[in-house]
Amino acid sequence: MMKALARRIRALFNRARMEAELDEELRFHIEKETEQNIARGMGPAEARRAALAEFGGAERFREECRDVRGVRLIEDLWQDLRYGARTLSKSPGFTFVALLTLALGIGANTAIFSVVNAVLFNHLPYPDSELIVSFEGVNPSKGITDSNMSVPDFADWRAQSQAFERVAGFVTGGALIVAGEEAERVRGTDVFGDFFPLFRTDAQRGRILLPDDAKKGAPPVAVLSHGLWLRRYGGDPSVVGRTIMVGRESTEIVGVMPPGFNYPARTEIWFPLGVDPAAERRDNRYLEVVGRLKAGATVQGAQAELDAVNARLAQTYVETNSGWGVRLTTLRERLVGEMRTPLLVVLGAVALVLLIACANVANLLLARAASRGREFAVRVAHGASRSRIMRQLLTESLQLSLVGGAAGVLISLWLTRLLVGLLPADTPRLDEIRPDVRVFGFALAVSILTGLLFGLAPALQASRANLNEALKEGGRSGGEGARGGRARSALIVSEVALSFMLLAGAGLLVRSFLHLRDVNPGFNPGGVLSMRISASGPKYPAGPARAEVYRQALERIAALPGVESAGAVLSLPLGGDTFNVGRSFIREGRPAAPEESANASYLVVTPGYFRALQIPLLSGRGFTDQDTEKSPMVVVVNETMARRFWPGESPVGKRITIWRDEKFPREIVGVVGDTRAKPGEAAGPQMYVPYAQDANWGSLSLVVRTAADAASVAAAARNEIHALDKAIPVYNVRPMGDVVDAALAERRASTLLVGAFALLALLLALVGIYGVTAYYVTQRTHEIGVRVALGAQARHVLRLVIGQSLRLTLAGLALGLCGAAALTRVLESLLYGVRPTDPATFAGAAALLGAVALLACLVPARRATKVDPLIALRAE
Amino acid sequence: MNKKTDLLQGTLDLLILKTLQSGSMHGWDIAQRIRQVSREILSVNQGSLYPALHRLEAQGRIASEWGASDNNRRAKFYKLTAAGRRQLAAEAEAWERFSHAVGLILQNT
């Protein structure tokens, strides 16, 4: 065995010598044979000819001898590679077009895959991250999902379940870092339990937060993110141990986390959350919870355990816990679950583009194979086997696709950067997008598959070529047989079908996007500026003092030139502040059993809010400055709440109690229009309370309706607030239009991408149809010449050529229609206001594709009408 | 000359090994010898002879070396190896049994 291997390796290296020896051996044989023939009485020339004839095809036979040596495959490969490189460099035009097509196709696929890989496939950047799960409070009977959880429940889960190694809770919010005059608002998180150990991440400098830090009376401490440390403290190592002002409190920095640790998303500073579970209420749900499963535990197992604990809690604490449960998902799924469908749709779209590119390159190769028919025939005649020729053609294709793939990887590096810029900034895991081994493996695999895919049809065709016909035909014009024609027809049909599917899908997404953009959000964002300000801390205690500072700030801003009205709200519509407060309420005169209690979004607003956003007042009145903590308690509800809870009657004058947060009833004084929380979802019940009657909230979003330039008003408004108090931070300053845009940003990105790929597909289809039609005309020049000579008019010729292409296009459209009808179903969850089989969209896509096909074959068809029968016939 | 018999599949190896039993010789000699010994009944197509030689060499049944031929030209000489000798014995015996059996059937039915 070893000896055989050694012989093969030797043979490989001594290739030239072994070839020479083989030649010598054969030459010797022929000479001996010739001598013998002469001895038998033949003339020398005849003797030699007879010897050679007896020998048979020398080349075939040499190959058989090489075969025996077992190095044939490698030798052939090397030969094919050199031969392929030579042929490709001989037709630079073809090679360039094919390489460009492949590089773009593979590059786009690799770029999209690097995003999909980072966001969907890669593990989170923590050790054993697949064991980290996210808790989500749910109450199916009230239709509540995605709720936060209470501290006592958290403590019970931690104590009573066995599946978890660690659990931790946290509360996200803002933190105001003050240094001298300059205050900066950063995203801060208060953490509770084994937060950092759960992620198995230690501090890069200093230490992480410890349980003792959260104890009552412990000195305030904080841990910085790597980004904040670099940005604000220039990466100064001595910052650990330094005391900074956070809000009104001097806080010691005890550690800096390593780069890449930023959970929950974009947190820049972490504080210990000091709470006592025994002193907390079970219906005060404000905690977010994560857990790490013990090795070997499953999400299902842990879920079952928690369900049991929650069932016990619901029995013990009927009033607060009845109906409440927890849904566990892996943290990764929680973070990126919403991204899955759009990303996979984009990946599918770009894969279709690559398939179309493959069809185009295959077409180019088929045309080349046809004109190389003679070359193959000659090789077969010299004893090359058909599989040998197939192998050589496939080697050529793979050479093309691998070079194209290498160029594609380079393109993808650039495209990926472009993509990251295009995606909304709050896309989860955006900072983790970078090419890794898997991305390069993907590019390699796609290149090889592509090469096989577009190389197969031409290779099969060439290997089947009929020797005699090829030589005969080749003698004339290097034409191709009927089979080649069928192959290219099939390619065009599938190309058109794929393009149609992509166009139809893109059309549906674009129409959904346009519908969503035109959806009335319930307010008028035009000319409105929004900004968030915080007045809290000991200087502005919850209550009248805090209400007063907001009233003064709004009064000053409303007095600015160019400002029409100004108001403030707890959280902006369309997810502008990324949070929503929900509260239960009880209608007066109805039984107050917990299961009867209803839920609505809870918003505190200042009197100017409805006017500034032009939210219509449907009945009753809005709020005024006379609604204070001393005046009667009032509430305004939205249209949906009025219709749902007081069907057929006016709610104005009715009274509700916002249960468990307030122990007193409020009178409904007005009904306003709905404002949407998401562009694609109808509004739920909403209730508005005057800020003066619930001034517990430290931060509000200001909305300022301007008649003048928004940017100048922004600066003036900031000045007015700082004239009031320099320490009040003003942040998230942006036009309300940006809030509307941000709500659609992710959808815009995926629509844009699929749309761009559809256009690319259209372009490729155009090139493909043009190429095939042009080839058809060249092949039929003689036939067309004869027809013209026999009296055919230009329109007959046009009809012949265009008819040929349009038949293929129509077949492709029919096929694409079936494909699209089946495929656009996967888009369903992404569509808005349009069905997956929207006839108008499909018709539009078909019309566009048909027009492009017509355009593509018009030029060659016109050329066909110019065929001069004399020249065409003389060319024979 | 005109009553040549095509070689049965697989018998060429046996003939080559048997021919080489009498000593080393080059390819052309092997073909000549087979033709002469079989009284011109068996003729080896050169197109199959050389691949067979190379195959047998690759299998280690025969070995080759370059030497001078009768008229002093360089030629490649083949000779049996020990493995080739064993193979020859085994195949010769198998052939005897086979042809005996075929002979019996042809005579008795």
Backbone φ and ψ of A61, nearest 5°:
-75, -35
Tell me the average pLDDT across A520-534.
Answer: 90
Chain segment A632-681, per-residue pLDDT in tens: 999 999 999 999 889 889 999 999 988 767 889 999 999 999 999 888 88
Tell me the average pLDDT across A533-562.
Answer: 88
The residue type of A478 is G
CA distance A734 to A529: 6
Chain segment A764-776, per-residue pLDDT in tens: 888 888 888 888 8
CA distance A577 to A362: 52
- The confidence score (pLDDT) of residue B102 equals 87
Lateral strand order in the sheet of B74-80 = B25-26, B74-80, B62-68
Give the residue among B25, B16, B2 at the shortest CA–CA distance from B91. Answer: B16
Does B1 reach chain A within 8 Å, measured CB to CB?
no
Secondary structure in 3-state letters for A490-510: HHHHHHHHHHHHHHHHHHHHH
| Angle formed at CA B22 by CA B17 and CA B26, multiple of 5 degrees | 70
- Of A134 and A389, the structure prediction assigns the larger pLDDT to A134
Local confidence band at A475 (pLDDT 50, 70, 90 cut-offs): very low
Does A23 reach chain B within 8 Å, measured CB to CB?
no
Do residue B58 and residue A26 have CB atoms under 8 angstroms apart?
no
CA distance A571 to A578: 8
- The confidence score (pLDDT) of residue A350 equals 92
- The confidence score (pLDDT) of residue A641 equals 93
CA distance A604 to A661: 14
Res A58 pLDDT > 80: no
**Residue A808 Cα distances to A77, A538, A662, angstroms:** 38, 77, 72
Does B27 reach chain A within 8 Å, measured CB to CB?
yes
Does A69 reach chain B within 8 Å, measured CB to CB?
yes
Helices (H), chain B: 11-20, 27-37, 46-59, 82-108
- Of A268 and A8, the structure prediction assigns the larger pLDDT to A268
Q: For a pLDDT cut of 90, what percent of chain A falls above it?
A: 34
- The confidence score (pLDDT) of residue A596 equals 47
Do residue B46 and residue A57 have CB atoms under 8 angstroms apart?
no
Give the residue among A243, A179, A220, A188 at the shortest CA–CA distance from A727. Answer: A179
CA distance A443 to A416: 14
Distance from CA of B107 to the nearest CA of A (A): 37
The CATH number of the domain where B37 resides is what? 1.10.10.10
Q: Contact at 8 Å (CB) between A99 and A400?
A: yes
A96: helix, strand or coil: helix
Tell me the average pLDDT across A172-200.
Answer: 79
Chain segment A12-27, per-residue pLDDT in tens: 666 677 777 878 888 8
Local confidence band at A66 (pLDDT 50, 70, 90 cut-offs): low
Place of tokens 């049944």: B61
Instruction: Find how far residue A735's CA is from the centre of its chain.
Output: 27
Strands A617-620 and A582-587: unpaired
CA distance A856 to A764: 11
The answer as to whether B31 is a domain residue is: yes
Do residue A29 and residue B46 have CB atoms under 8 angstroms apart?
yes
The answer as to whether B63 is a domain residue is: yes
Closest Cβ–Cβ partner in B45, B51, B60 for A65: B51
Do residue B58 and residue A64 have CB atoms under 8 angstroms apart?
no
With the CA atoms of A807, A809, A811 and A815 taken in that order, what torsion angle do they form, in degrees rounded to the nearest 10?
180
Q: If you measure CA to CA, which chain A residue comes closest to B58?
A: A69
Q: Among the listed ranges A29-33, A154-158, A245-249, A723-727, which one has the minimum average pLDDT value?
A: A245-249
CA distance A37 to A51: 8
**Residue A678 Cα distances to A519, A523, A675, A695, angstroms:** 10, 13, 9, 27
- The confidence score (pLDDT) of residue A653 equals 93
Does B99 reach chain A within 8 Å, measured CB to CB?
no
Beta-bridge partner residues of A677: none
Q: How many residues does chain B have?
A: 109
For residue A622, give the DSSP letter. Answer: -
Sequence-ordered list of residues with C-beta below 8 angstroms from that of A432, at least 6 positions apart, any chain: A118, A119, A122, A125, A260
- Of A2 and A741, the structure prediction assigns the larger pLDDT to A741
Distance from CA of A385 to the nearest CA of B (A): 16
- The confidence score (pLDDT) of residue A7 equals 63
CA distance A522 to A616: 8
* Chain B residues with beta carbon closer than 8 angstroms to that of A26: 50
For residue A833, give the DSSP letter. Answer: S
* B22 Ramachandran zone, left/alpha/beta (phi>0; psi -120 to 50): alpha
* A799 Ramachandran zone, left/alpha/beta (phi>0; psi -120 to 50): alpha
How many C-beta atoms lie closer than 10 Å to residue B109's C-beta? 5
The residue type of A227 is G
- Of A216 and A876, the structure prediction assigns the larger pLDDT to A216
Closest Cβ–Cβ partner in A24, A56, A57 for B74: A24
Chain segment A85-104, per-residue pLDDT in tens: 887 887 787 888 889 889 99
Give the residue among A747, A680, A752 at the shortest CA–CA distance from A519. Answer: A680
Give the residue among A502, A512, A497 at the shortest CA–CA distance from A755. Answer: A502
In whole numbers, what is the pLDDT of chain A averaged over residues?
84
Chains A, B: CB pairs < 8 Å:
56
Structure tokens at A601: 């979004």
Helices (H), A136-199: 151-160, 195-198
What is the value of pTM for the model shown? 0.70
- Of A205 and A187, the structure prediction assigns the larger pLDDT to A205
Does A593 reach chain B within 8 Å, measured CB to CB?
no
* Chain A residues with beta carbon closer than 8 angstroms to that of B83: none
Do residue A25 and residue B73 have CB atoms under 8 angstroms apart?
no
Is the omega angle on the peptide bond into residue A435 within 30 degrees of 0, that is, cis? no
The residue type of A265 is A
Res A334 pLDDT > 60: yes
The answer as to whether B4 is a domain residue is: no
Tell me the average pLDDT across A156-182.
Answer: 81
- The confidence score (pLDDT) of residue A522 equals 92
Does A55 reach chain B within 8 Å, measured CB to CB?
yes
**Residue A100 Cα distances to A348, A445, A447, A492, A495, angstroms:** 21, 18, 13, 19, 18
Distance from CA of A43 to the nearest CA of B (A): 21
The answer as to whether B69 is a domain residue is: yes
* Chain B residues with beta carbon closer than 8 angstroms to that of A31: 73
Res A474 pLDDT > 70: no
Q: Contact at 8 Å (CB) between A606 and A567?
A: yes
CA distance B23 to B77: 10
Do residue A64 and residue B51 have CB atoms under 8 angstroms apart?
yes
* A660 Ramachandran zone, left/alpha/beta (phi>0; psi -120 to 50): left
Sequence-ordered list of residues with C-beta below 8 angstroms from that of A197, at least 6 positions apart, any chain: A166, A208
* Chain A residues with beta carbon closer than 8 angstroms to that of B58: 4, 7, 68-70
- Of A505 and A66, the structure prediction assigns the larger pLDDT to A505
- Of A295 and A866, the structure prediction assigns the larger pLDDT to A295
Res B3 pLDDT > 60: no
Strands A686-690 and A598-605: parallel
CA distance A722 to A716: 10
Which of B36, B45, B46 is best to mutate for the A interface (most A CBs within 10 A)? B46
Res A376 pLDDT > 80: no
Chain segment A299-315, per-residue pLDDT in tens: 999 999 999 999 999 99
- The confidence score (pLDDT) of residue B73 equals 80
Which of B50, B53, B62 is best to mutate for the A interface (most A CBs within 10 A)? B50
CA distance A189 to A224: 11
Local confidence band at B12 (pLDDT 50, 70, 90 cut-offs): confident
Q: Among the listed ranges A141-145, A669-673, A721-725, B22-26, which one has the minimum average pLDDT value?
A: A141-145
Res A145 pLDDT > 80: no
Res A227 pLDDT > 50: yes
- Of B25 and A265, the structure prediction assigns the larger pLDDT to B25
Do residue A33 and residue B28 have CB atoms under 8 angstroms apart?
yes
Beta-bridge partner residues of A170: A191, A288
A216: helix, strand or coil: coil
Res A483 pLDDT > 70: no
Provide the domain count of chain B.
1
CA distance A513 to A680: 10
Does A338 reach chain B within 8 Å, measured CB to CB?
no
- The confidence score (pLDDT) of residue A141 equals 75
The answer as to whether B74 is a domain residue is: yes
CA distance B78 to B57: 9
Give the residue among A608, A632, A602 at the shortest CA–CA distance from A622. Answer: A608
The answer as to whether B1 is a domain residue is: no
Q: Contact at 8 Å (CB) between A365 and A454?
A: yes
Give the residue among A523, A603, A644, A649 at the shortest CA–CA distance from A143. Answer: A644
- Of A794 and A291, the structure prediction assigns the larger pLDDT to A291
- The confidence score (pLDDT) of residue A1 equals 54
Structure tokens at A18: 């072994």
Local confidence band at A847 (pLDDT 50, 70, 90 cut-offs): very high
- The confidence score (pLDDT) of residue A28 equals 84
The answer as to whether B2 is a domain residue is: no
Secondary structure in 3-state letters for A181-213: CEEEEEEEEEEEECHHHHCCCCCCEECCCCHHH
Does A17 reach chain B within 8 Å, measured CB to CB?
no
Structure tokens at A82: 């050199």
Do residue B50 and residue A26 have CB atoms under 8 angstroms apart?
yes
- The confidence score (pLDDT) of residue A479 equals 46
Domain range for B71 is 11-108
- The confidence score (pLDDT) of residue A413 equals 92
Distance from CA of B73 to the nearest CA of A (A): 8
Does B74 reach chain A within 8 Å, measured CB to CB?
yes
- The confidence score (pLDDT) of residue A132 equals 94
**DSSP percent split of chain A into helix, strand, coil, nearest 5:** 60, 15, 25
- The confidence score (pLDDT) of residue A875 equals 59
The answer as to whether B6 is a domain residue is: no
Closest Cβ–Cβ partner in A25, A29, A70 for B58: A70
